[in-house]
């Protein structure tokens, strides 16, 4: 049983609330009506034995037996801005402050597969992340950081395989065996069509690149997570917890189906799948969301795809606190929000975590704000009792009821996507995008009506605000980056680059694994934009359907 509220619970709830009718103030953020108190009959359908133990199917209570008693979650603060050298300095600083993993933010041109000297890159180089044009930049980004001693997450999607290959090449130059590299590439292009927009190629060739990445990493980088299937960006666009789970798992199903269709065995690649969720301030619903997602995924993998390896059935998740809930007004209050969100993620059983800085609604994080965000995680890890017990809220009548409701509704949403022909077909219909936009509109309407309170925005406002000291990116960064790029092009073997890029085009037109030829082109100092341009020439560029 899923633990959803049965008829007895609904009847009891109605009787208890006869003097206080339900309204939006008594609903969860996903719209589930709540009672003022919960009792055993609210989870009358729940078989507690069906919850399992932490580390065992269906992983409701956590993917590892001892959870944080054995090892804290990875504290992986997302960072990257301006040049590779400046970002490298921030990484070294965060590692010195006790961060346990790296998380790379790339600038918009890199995410879109354009070099820094492209006309469309003007005004965006180094602004929301670090600019990476070639192997030379990747060397500078990780200079002095031993890649066999840290795990690195890279938030990159359409050109994810290219950045992963650059990472591998830098590691090899350091003398590191690629088999020892640990980390994650986001590599989740389907959510880009739904919520974020940094796509390059149409869905089918994008899926081909992703499945080629699965196959390549299976032999070349077996410890690297090949994809981080993301609900975070959908949540930032307005998705509810139910939509976050349902649409994320629908995308995951599409990736698994594509890999199986390409001839891969599910238990060969599924253990390297990972997920990326948000942690909102609605602490209890978020805890239930993580639990529901793990249970639903475990059953999908076992029953739908026949996965037998426990690692294939585990939903391992990186979490980021909710950027969309940060406010520019009274920015220091974001410290409170982020603390609650860190608790939601850790009580929910995340495997790694980024805590947002309090000033991120205004600018890229300052060094002070980035340190405070890391310290928030460290306080929860070392000064609270959260790590003592796996699934500490498990068994709460409310948590179990809500876990079941989220699972049930997310599965129903997954069924609707299946009914449209799967995630890619649903994207073509604009289904996910429309549903998320309706949820975002409903939320904003309630905020504007003060039906949902946002402290400092529609209640508890102040007349004067003091802006904190902000991180600024010098506009000269593009000029300096373009100069570096010109030096790379001047010093490389142009004929070797042209030959290597032609090999990429040949592989794209055929069936060979793309990553092998792309790796050699990048080794010859081809740029990110040049490789992407070759693929654009073969695959074309994606254009959203009109009216979506």
Within-domain flag for 39: no
- In whole angstroms, give the CA distance from residue 478 to residue 123: 8
In the sheet that holds 273-279, the strands lie side by side as 224-225, 182-185, 151-155, 101-105, 74-79, 352-354, 317-321, 273-279, 227-230
Task: Give 72-130 pLDDT, tens digit per residue.
Answer: 999 998 888 889 999 999 999 999 999 988 999 999 999 999 999 999 999 899 998 99
> What DSSP letter does each residue of 4-65 carry, written as one string?
---HHHHHHHHHHTTTS---GGGB-TT--B--SS--GGGGTT--GGGG--TTSTT-TT-SSS
Name the band, by pLDDT with cuts 50, 70 and 90, for residue 312. Answer: very high
Terminal alpha carbon distance of the chain: 38
Percent of the chain with pLDDT over 90: 86
Range of the domain at 255: 49-55+69-448
* Residue 11 pLDDT: 33
Angle at 433 between CA 547 and CA 313, to 5 degrees: 145
The tokens for 191 are 């959510």
Check: CB of residue 201 under 8 Å from CB of residue 209.
Answer: yes
Beta strands (DSSP E) in 227-272 are 227-230
- In whole angstroms, give the CA distance from residue 5 to residue 9: 6
* Residue 24 pLDDT: 58
Task: Give 337-381 pLDDT, tens digit per residue.
Answer: 999 999 999 999 999 999 999 999 998 888 899 999 999 999 999
What total of structural domains would you count in the chain? 1
Query: 416 Cβ partners below 8 Å, 6+ apart?
Result: 426, 431
Q: What is the CATH number of the domain that holds 416?
A: 3.20.20.240
* Residue 6 pLDDT: 35
Check: CB of residue 234 under 8 Å from CB of residue 248.
Answer: yes
Within-domain flag for 405: yes
Q: Which residues pair with 319 in a beta bridge?
A: 277, 353
* Residue 443 pLDDT: 95
Check: CB of residue 222 under 8 Å from CB of residue 268.
Answer: no
Task: Give 382-427 pLDDT, tens digit per residue.
Answer: 999 999 999 999 999 999 999 999 999 999 999 999 999 999 999 9
Average pLDDT score over the chain: 92
Check: CB of residue 362 under 8 Å from CB of residue 328.
Answer: yes
- Contacts by 491-496, CB closer than 8 A, 24 or more apart: 491/525, 492/524, 492/525, 493/524, 493/525, 496/524
Within-domain flag for 460: no
Name the band, by pLDDT with cuts 50, 70 and 90, for residue 44. Answer: confident
Within-domain flag for 107: yes
Q: Give the SS3 label for residue 182.
A: strand
Within-domain flag for 333: yes
Within-domain flag for 19: no
Per-residue pLDDT at 514 exceeds 90: yes
Query: 387 Cβ partners below 8 Å, 6+ apart?
Result: 67, 68, 69, 72, 346, 381
As a dihedral over the C-alpha atoms of residue 475, residue 525, residue 205, residue 249, rounded to 10 degrees, the angle is -60
Check: CB of residue 46 under 8 Å from CB of residue 395.
Answer: no
Check: CB of residue 177 under 8 Å from CB of residue 148.
Answer: yes
* Residue indicated by tokens 């309204």: 23
* Residue 20 pLDDT: 38
- In whole angstroms, give the CA distance from residue 499 to residue 525: 12
* Residue 48 pLDDT: 73
Task: Give 237-296 pLDDT, tens digit per residue.
Answer: 999 999 999 999 999 999 999 999 999 999 999 999 999 999 999 999 999 999 999 999
Name the band, by pLDDT with cuts 50, 70 and 90, for residue 17. Answer: very low
Within-domain flag for 486: no
List the one residue out of 205, 191, 215 whose CA is nearest residue 536: 205
- In whole angstroms, give the CA distance from residue 281 to residue 154: 25
Within-domain flag for 156: yes
Name the band, by pLDDT with cuts 50, 70 and 90, for residue 546. Answer: low
């Amino acid at each position: 049983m899923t633990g959803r509220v049965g008829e007895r619970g609904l009847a009891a709830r109605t009787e208890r609330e006869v003097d206080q009718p339900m309204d939006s103030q008594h609903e969860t953020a996903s719209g589930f009506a709540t009672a003022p108190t919960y009792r055993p009959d609210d989870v009358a359908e729940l078989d507690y034995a069906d919850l399992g133990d932490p580390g065992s199917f269906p992983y409701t209570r956590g993917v590892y037996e001892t959870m944080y008693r054995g090892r804290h979650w990875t504290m992986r603060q997302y960072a990257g801005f301006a040049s590779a050298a400046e970002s490298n300095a921030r990484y070294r600083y965060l590692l010195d402050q006790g961060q346990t993993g790296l998380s790379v933010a790339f600038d918009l041109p890199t995410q879109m597969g354009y070099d820094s000297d492209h006309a469309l890159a003007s005004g965006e180089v180094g602004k929301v992340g670090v600019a990476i044009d070639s192997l030379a930049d990747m060397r500078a980004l990780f200079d002095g950081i031993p890649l066999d001693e840290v795990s690195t997450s890279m938030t990159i999607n359409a050109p994810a395989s290219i950045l992963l290959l650059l990472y591998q090449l830098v590691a090899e130059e350091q003398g590191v065996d690629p088999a020892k590299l640990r980390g994650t590439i986001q590599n989740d292009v389907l959510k880009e069509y739904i919520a974020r927009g940094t796509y390059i190629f149409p869905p089918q060739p994008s899926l081909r690149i992703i499945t080629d990445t699965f196959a390549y990493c299976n032999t070349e980088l077996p410890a690297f997570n090949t994809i981080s299937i993301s609900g975070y960006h959908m949540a930032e666009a307005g998705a509810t917890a139910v939509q976050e789970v349902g649409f994320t798992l629908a995308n995951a199903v599409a990736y698994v189906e594509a890999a199986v269709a390409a001839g891969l065995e599910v238990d060969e690649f599924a253990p390297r799948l990972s997920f990326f969720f948000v942690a909102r301030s609605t602490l209890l619903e978020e805890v239930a969301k993580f639990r529901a997602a793990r249970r639903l995924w475990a059953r999908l993998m076992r029953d739908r795809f026949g996965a037998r390896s426990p690692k294939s059935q585990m939903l391992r998740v990186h979490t980021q606190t909710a950027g969309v809930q940060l406010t520019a007004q009274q920015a220091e209050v974001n410290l409170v929000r982020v603390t609650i969100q860190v608790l939601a993620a850790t009580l929910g059983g995340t495997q790694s975590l980024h805590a947002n800085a309090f000033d991120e609604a205004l600018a890229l994080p300052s060094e002070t704000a980035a340190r405070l965000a890391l310290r928030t995680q460290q306080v929860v890890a070392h000064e609270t009792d959260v790590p003592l017990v796996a699934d500490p809220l498990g068994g709460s009548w409310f948590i179990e009821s809500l876990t079941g409701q989220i699972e049930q509704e997310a599965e129903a949403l997954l069924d609707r996507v299946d009914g449209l022909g799967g995630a890619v077909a649903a994207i073509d219909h604009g289904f996910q995008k429309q549903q998320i936009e309706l949820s975002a509109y409903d939320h904003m309407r309630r905020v504007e009506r003060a039906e949902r309170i946002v402290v400092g925005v529609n209640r508890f406002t102040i007349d004067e605000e003091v802006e904190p000291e902000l991180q600024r990116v010098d506009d000269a960064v593009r000029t300096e980056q373009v100069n570096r790029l010109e030096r790379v092009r001047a010093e490389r073997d142009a004929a070797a680059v042209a030959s290597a890029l032609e090999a990429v085009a040949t592989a794209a037109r055929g069936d060979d694994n793309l990553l092998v030829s792309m790796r050699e082109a990048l080794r010859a100092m081809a740029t990110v934009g040049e490789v992407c341009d070759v693929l654009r020439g073969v695959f074309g560029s994606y254009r959203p359907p009109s009216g979506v």
